[in-house]
Amino acid sequence: MVACNRTEERESSAVKPQSEESHSLVADSSVEVVGTYSNVRATEEHAYGIEVDLWRSGNTLFGILYYAEGIMGDAPRGLLQDVVYQPGTRLLSFSVKLSRGLHFCKDHSNVPSRDVVEFSGTHDADSLVGTMTLIDSLDAKIVSSERIALRKSDERTKFLNDWTFQNVAEWKQRYWEAIHKPLGPKW
């Protein structure tokens, strides 16, 4: 359950660096695994943290963010959007739409939450490091903003390498839509 009483109003979005070149995903472009980056901590029954599966098509990064905050399995997730990556400086920024649960407040009752995660930082072969901001878009307020370090998980990256896709369109159909979209944002 997500409640409306947030501590800080949203003043602005995370700063997004300008791209050195404009890149966009092309449906018939080849796909390769970059890796899984995670800070997820687990107990016997619960998991907490962020995990990002990154893929590359040409010079464009894309993927999925998982937001674990409770009982293990089926963490809310969303596609990386508005991705800007500068290979020369390693600057990376993206946003993700999520539905972390049901939202209740004086204006909304029992509706799927409309959460946005914004990341701005750097990416290298072993980590994603930067600032991650969680925004409640129904109330236009920042829920949290913190520095995070996601380390590459060789085990999860090996799992991703078990998948092969001819192109981005096949990745989207077989990996996102068939498996992950049902646990994606409800908006």
Q: What is the pLDDT of residue 4?
A: 52
Over residues 162-186, the pLDDT tens digits come to 999 999 999 999 999 999 999 999 9
Share above pLDDT 90 across residues of the chain, in percent, rounded to a whole number? 68
34 within some domain: yes
> Which residues form the domain of 144?
2-8+30-183
Average pLDDT, integer, range 94-114: 87
Q: What is the pTM of this model?
A: 0.84
Q: How many folded domains does the chain comprise? A: 1
22 within some domain: no
Side chain identity at 89, as an amino acid letter? Answer: T
172 within some domain: yes
Q: Please check the confidence at residue 24 and state whether its pLDDT lies above 70.
A: no
Over residues 125-154, the pLDDT tens digits come to 999 999 999 999 998 899 999 999 999 999
Side chain identity at 97, as an amino acid letter? Answer: K
Q: Do 173 and 102 form a contact (C-beta atoms < 8 A)? A: no
158 within some domain: yes
The more confidently predicted of residues 101 and 4 is 101
23 within some domain: no
Q: Do 30 and 166 form a contact (C-beta atoms < 8 A)? A: yes
Q: How far apart are CA 118 and CA 80, in angstroms?
A: 10
113 within some domain: yes
16 within some domain: no
13 within some domain: no
